[in-house]
Amino acid sequence: MAHIHVPAKVPVRYLPRSATANMVFGIMVVVGLVSFVIRLGQDPTQAWISYVSNWLFFTSISVGGVIFAVATWLTKAKWNWSLRRVSQSLVSFLPFSFLLLLPMLTLREGYFHWITEMAGDPILQAKSAYLNIPFLLARNVVGAAVLFGLLLYFVYLAIRADVGHTKGAEHGDEARASWRKRLTQGWAGQAEEEVKSYHRMTTVGPPIVLVFALVMSIFSYDWAMGLEPHWFSTMFGPWFFMGGFWGGIASTVLWAMYARTTDKDIANHIGLQQRHDIGKLLFAFTVFWTYLFFSQYIVIWYGKLPWEQAWIITRSAPPWGKYSLMVIFLCFIIPFAGLIGRKPKMNPRILGTFAAVVLTGLWFERYGLIAPSLYHEGDPIFSIWQPLIGLMFLGLWMGSIRWFLTTFPVLQVWQPMVDPETTDAEIRVDEDRGYAAG
Amino acid sequence: MTTLNPAERPPLTPTERGALTHPDVERLSDVNRDVLAILGRPGKGWWLLFALAVAGVGVFFGAWFWQIYRGIGVSGLNGPVGWGVYITTFVFWVGIAHSGTLISAILFLFRAPWRQAVYRLAEAMTVFAVMTAGIFPLIHVGRVWHAYWLVPYPNSRFLWPNFKSPLVWDVFAVTTYFTVSAVFFYLGTVPDIAAARDQAKGLRKKLYNVISLGWRGTDAQWHHFGKAYIFLAALATPLVLSVHSVVSWDFAMSIVPGWHATIFAPYFVAGAIFSGVGMVITLAVPMRKAFGLEAYFTTKHFDALAKLCLLTSLIVLYAYLSEFFMAWYSGEEIERTAFWNRLFGDYWWATWTMLTCNGLVPIMLWFKRVRHSIPALFVISIFINIGMWFERYVIVVTSLHHEYEPWAWGIYRPSITEMSIMVGSFAWFSFWFLLFTRLLPPVAIAELKEVLPPPMRKSATHQEAH
């Protein structure tokens, strides 16, 4: 069993502020927004397909990244002590994600074909208790608000306990100081705050995971599965949200590898052990995504029920067949072959590259969940507008996460090294090879 | 919400603290002493249980021979329900087998140190559960002398089993699983068998001499052992997912409403781990008491097992709910009727037993007080075992008895022969498990030592720490 060494004093480190970076992100957002407006004029359906697929992608990987932080917290993982904050930082996209969801709620017949089809289709009428606009709006708004709110609360607790340590280490940065002041309201002292945060994070963690499974399933049903209203698959929700979780791990890798390049301490602490371990998880969830994909595919293929295989045939026959094949290459074959060895997982560049491949694959996959369902002959399979509109989301995603890591320490300074309940004995054994008195 | 300052809190008792071993275990030799004591002369209780198990095995084989003698007609199997208690019990035992590999392989790779106390018994449980499960297809086929038809082998008539049939996949999946888990189990015990060898006398010594493969605990041996163990763990990990996925496809590949659902593979895997961990608790609690292992199976282990049960129960609950939701959402008459029938039809009692035991009862595991109470966990684990058997019964029977054609609907009632074989299978499993507890160290000696302080000159550690 490897023993993870957590330093007694974690250095307070931030990403450097950069006006250039902010400008680049700003330009990306503007280009994306303009592209969306232009595309909306040309072909509203295509514009919205790009918008929704990008929203699903960026939202699911951001939520997935924080859920990764929650899951490792609940399992009392110590190996990722230097990566916790990086995973938590993905929460900063979620307020934008909520705002970006609102325009999607104006979508009607052009996107949700069931609205028009329902009149003449008894099967769809039988589903009208779920497939109706008021309920759709309500469950999406409430679901997103509850899920994002809980995730923000979880990350808030993690940061709040850090604040006592960052005082005096903020390099005179006013934004950091002002956030510290905002977060220290009702401050009860460092030790108390740490115990309090520990308890609250541990209490709120399991419900967060439940809400995650539920709300992400609803997102996937409403924005992707429901586009072919006769099709249904119980696997669709888990496949979608576990993909998001996997994307969250890949995002953590990418941001961590980037953060390593900015500071020597960060580079040292996101060390061989951390890279090897998160590389193993990235690999494991590559296989897991494929397992879920395959388990859904083979049941439909074997069953050969007309209403069920339609969804698969749309995606495996021309013109979408090659597109789907590319997704499988990016999401499975390349990362599987690339990450199977030990050295690629440890090498920051190679690990980062495969994380980028995974994210690219997932980005194509999310588009592939939506676009073929709304495809008409003559539509482009894929056009430059998809990445152009994506720039708006990418700019916001990178900008918000970068802002987060410049404002709050990249390495979580407060580490739950003394679990008030269960791990203290363990830690003491590790440290002085003896037992703490009961 | 507690906001106590750690300094102000009363000191925790070892049970509350949930350490990996009790502070009473001081030296490495204590572990040898306590674990090897189990291999000594069995007490009356053991003999009583063993006699019961032998009697149960008699019932098991007696009923099976009766069925062979009289024909499959002595079971309740008939159109439309051609799969009944045998397949239910087969899936149940394959499911039980799963947590062993999860605990020994996946938790090993995840570096979860709490696994060490229970993993040996979980692995043994896996091997014996697969041995039990493997008999059921043979019983189910009726004419057992034709069972070898499932095995693909070159023959003069070029007759092969139908490789497109999930039942053939099952043969491969289950035999592979048995091979790997048996090898994994054996490999892990080698250093402990050597420890037992060093103390044993007479015939036992001769036996341990052979099966400990000349283990002396040299550096080179530990090095090879470590390598082999991690390789096998990595090889066994995909099997945890694949075996029960294949078992789930025995059902999901067909188009029977209630069977044909895409979520079946992960749903079955989660259910298998759920039932398996439940069974580990069921076995660990009496073992702890009978063999005085309180110092080794601590609150921490049971707490972790209970959390694993809670997690998998929630996954299973998600699968139940999404199945009910999708059946409704499908808008298809057949799907809707199948699930309505499941809830309120002839077998409503089985469905509600399943929902109560697997969905409602585990909710209690949210509370730490319950997770830290060993009697409560034992009772809950029994509920889980019952619930998971009923889950398979619900899937197998309610789906078949009420398929597409109304004229082909029918009721299935298990016969006495079937129930005897089902009950007897528990005896068959217990028979092997009881033998195991007396013949091989049922707790991993070598791994338990990893969490103890290493011996120091003048035992300085103990003086300071206590």
A126 to chain B, any CB pair closer than 8 A? The answer is yes
Q: Return the percentage of chain B with pLDDT > 70, whole number.
A: 92
Q: Which residues of B touch A236 (CB under 8 A)?
A: 262
Q: pLDDT at residue A322 above 60?
A: yes
Give the distance from residue A323's alpha carbon to the nearest chain B alpha carbon, in angstroms. 23
Distance CA B152, CA B159 (A): 9
Q: How far apart are CA A39 and CA B16, in angstroms?
A: 62
How many whole angstroms separate alpha carbon A52 and alpha carbon A220?
11
Question: Is residue B17 very low, low, confident or very high in pLDDT (cuts 50, 70, 90)?
Answer: very low
pLDDT band at A426 (very low <50, low <70, confident <90, very high): very low
Name the DSSP letter for residue A331: I
Q: B255 and A79 in contact by Cβ < 8 A? A: no
Q: How many other CB atoms are there within 10 angstroms of residue A236's CB atom?
A: 23
- DSSP state string for A361-426: HHHHHHHHHHGGGG--TTS-SS-THHHHHHHHHHHHHHHHHHHHHHHS-SS-SS---S-TTTTHHH
Residue from the list A235, A302, A429 with its beta carbon closest to the beta carbon of B263: A235
| DSSP code at position A332 | I
Of A415, A436, A433, A431, whose CA–CA distance to A78 is shortest?
A415
Q: Do A232 and A226 contact (CB within 8 A), yes or no?
A: no
Hey, are the CB atoms on B255 and A303 less than 8 Å from each other?
A: yes
CB contact under 8 Å between A127 and B331, yes or no, is yes
Percent of chain A scoring above 90 in pLDDT:
80
Mutate to test the interface with A, among B262, B301, B305, B315 (most CBs of A within 10 A): B262
Nearest to B253 among A302, A429, A438 (CB): A302
Q: Quote the pLDDT of residue A294.
A: 96
Contact A305 B5 (CB under 8 A): no
Q: Quick one: pLDDT band at residue B16, thresholds 50, 70, 90?
A: very low
Give B81's strand partners: B78
Rounded CA gap, A143 and A141, in Å?
6
Provide the pLDDT for residue B246.
Answer: 94
What is d(CA B350, CA B341) in angstroms, rounded to the nearest whole number? Answer: 12
pLDDT at res. A191 = 83
Residues in A closer than 8 angstroms to B1, CB to CB, are 196, 199-200, 203
Q: Please count the other Cβ atoms lying within 10 Å of the Cβ belonging to residue A415.
A: 19
Could you tell me which of B156, B214, B211, B216 has the C-alpha nearest to residue B185? B211
Among A279-293, B36-50, B343-357, the minimum mean pLDDT is found in B36-50
Could you tell me if A299 and B264 are in contact, meaning their C-beta atoms sit under 8 angstroms apart?
A: yes
pLDDT value for B299: 85
* Averaged confidence pLDDT in chain B: 89
ipTM above 0.95, yes or no: no
Mean per-residue pLDDT, B198-209? 90
Q: What percent of chain A has pLDDT over 70?
A: 94
Which residues, including other chains, have CB under 8 Å from residue A318's CB and lie 6 or more apart? none
Contacts 24+ apart (CB under 8 A), B48-56: B49/B430, B49/B434, B50/B431, B50/B434, B50/B435, B52/B427, B52/B430, B53/B427, B53/B428, B53/B430, B53/B431, B53/B434, B54/B427, B54/B431, B55/B427, B56/B423, B56/B424, B56/B426, B56/B427, B56/B428, B56/B430, B56/B431
* B465 pLDDT above the threshold of 90: no
Residues of A in contact with B6 (CB under 8 A): 191, 195, 418, 420
B3 vs A contacts (CB less than 8 Å)? 188, 192, 195-196
How is residue A118 annotated by DSSP? Answer: G
For the segment A82-102, the average pLDDT, to the nearest whole number, is 97
Q: Give exposure, A239-251, as e/b (b: 16+ Cβ within 10 Å).
A: bbbbbbbbbbbbb
User: pLDDT at residue A438 above 50?
Assistant: no
Name the minimum distance, in Å, from the CA of B217 to any CA of chain A: 18
Split at pLDDT 50, 70, 90, the class of A418 is low
The pLDDT assigned to B26 comes to 72
Of B6, B329, B461, the CB nearest to A191: B6
B81 φ, ψ (degrees, to nearest 5): -95, 90
Q: Count of CB atoms within 10 A of residue A191's CB?
A: 14
Whether residue B24 is predicted with pLDDT greater than 80 in this model: the reply is no
**Backbone angles phi and psi of B78, in degrees to 5:** -165, 170
pLDDT digits (tens, 9 = 90+) for B421-449: 999 999 999 999 999 999 999 888 888 88
| Residue-level pLDDT at A4 | 77
Whats the size of chain A, residue-wise? 438
Chain B hits for A232, Cβ within 8 Å: 326, 329-330
For B266, the closest chain A residue by CA position comes to A292
HEC sequence for chain B: CCCCCHHHCCCCCHHHHCCCCCCCCCCHHHHHHHHHHCCCCCCHHHHHHHHHHHHHHHHHHHHHHHHHHHCHHHCCCECCECCCHHHHHHHHHHHHHHHHHHHHHHHHHCCCCCHHHHHHHHHHHHHHHHHHHHHHHHHHCCCHHHHHHHCCCCCCCCCCCCCCCHHHHHHHHHHHHHHHHHHHHHHHHHHHHHHHHCCCCHHHHHHHHHHCCCCCCCHHHHHHHHHHHHHHHHHHHHHHHHHHHHHHHHHHCCCCCCCCCCCHHHHHHHHHHHHHHHHHHHHHHHHHHHCCCCCCCCHHHHHHHHHHHHHHHHHHHHHHHHHHHHHHHHCCHHHHHHHHHHHHCCCHHHHHHHHHHHHHHHHHHHCHHHHCCHHHHHHHHHHHHHHHHHHHHHHHHHHHHCCCCHHHCCCCCCCHHHHHHHHHHHHHHHHHHHHHHHHCCCCCHHHHHCCCCCCCHHHHHHHHHC
Contact with chain B for residue A75, Cβ under 8 A: yes
pLDDT-derived band at A389 (thresholds 50, 70, 90) equals very high
A434: which chain B residues are within 8 Å (Cβ-Cβ)? 453, 461-462, 464-465
Q: Number of CB pairs < 8 Å for A and B?
A: 142
| Residue from the list A79, A195, A438 with its beta carbon closest to the beta carbon of B23 | A438
Q: Which token pair is A259?
A: 């953060």
Q: Which residues of B are less than 8 Å from A303 in CB distance?
A: 252-255, 260
Q: So where are chain B's domains?
A: 25-150+174-454
Of B113, B249, B453, the CB nearest to A433: B453
Q: Does A186 touch chain B (CB under 8 A)?
A: no
The tens digit of pLDDT for each residue in A169-182 reads 888 888 898 998 88
Position B252 confidence tier, pLDDT thresholds 50, 70, 90: very high
How many beta carbons lie within 10 A of that of residue B201, not counting itself? 7
Cα–Cα distance for residue pair A376/A49, rounded to 1 Å:
13
Vertex B400, ends B398 and B406: CA angle to 5°? Answer: 100
What average pLDDT does this structure show over B167-192? 91
Q: Region B321-345: what's the mean pLDDT?
A: 94
* More confident of the two residues B9 and B67: B67
Distance from CA of A280 to the nearest CA of B (A): 10
- Asked whether the beta carbons of residue B18 and residue A299 sit closer than 8 angstroms, the reply is no
Give how far B131 is from chain A: nearest CA, Å. Answer: 27
Nearest to A433 among B18, B263, B461 (CB): B461
Name the one residue in this structure whose structure tokens are 């720490």.
Answer: B465
Question: What is the pLDDT at residue A205?
Answer: 94
**Spatial separation of the C-alpha atoms in residues A70 and A88, rounded to whole Å:** 9
Answer whether B16 sits within 8 Å of A302, measured CB to CB. no
Q: What is the pLDDT of residues A249-300, one digit of tens each?
A: 999 999 999 999 999 999 999 999 999 999 999 999 999 999 999 999 999 9
Task: Give the residue-averaged pLDDT of B131-159.
Answer: 89
* pLDDT of residue B14 exceeding 70: no
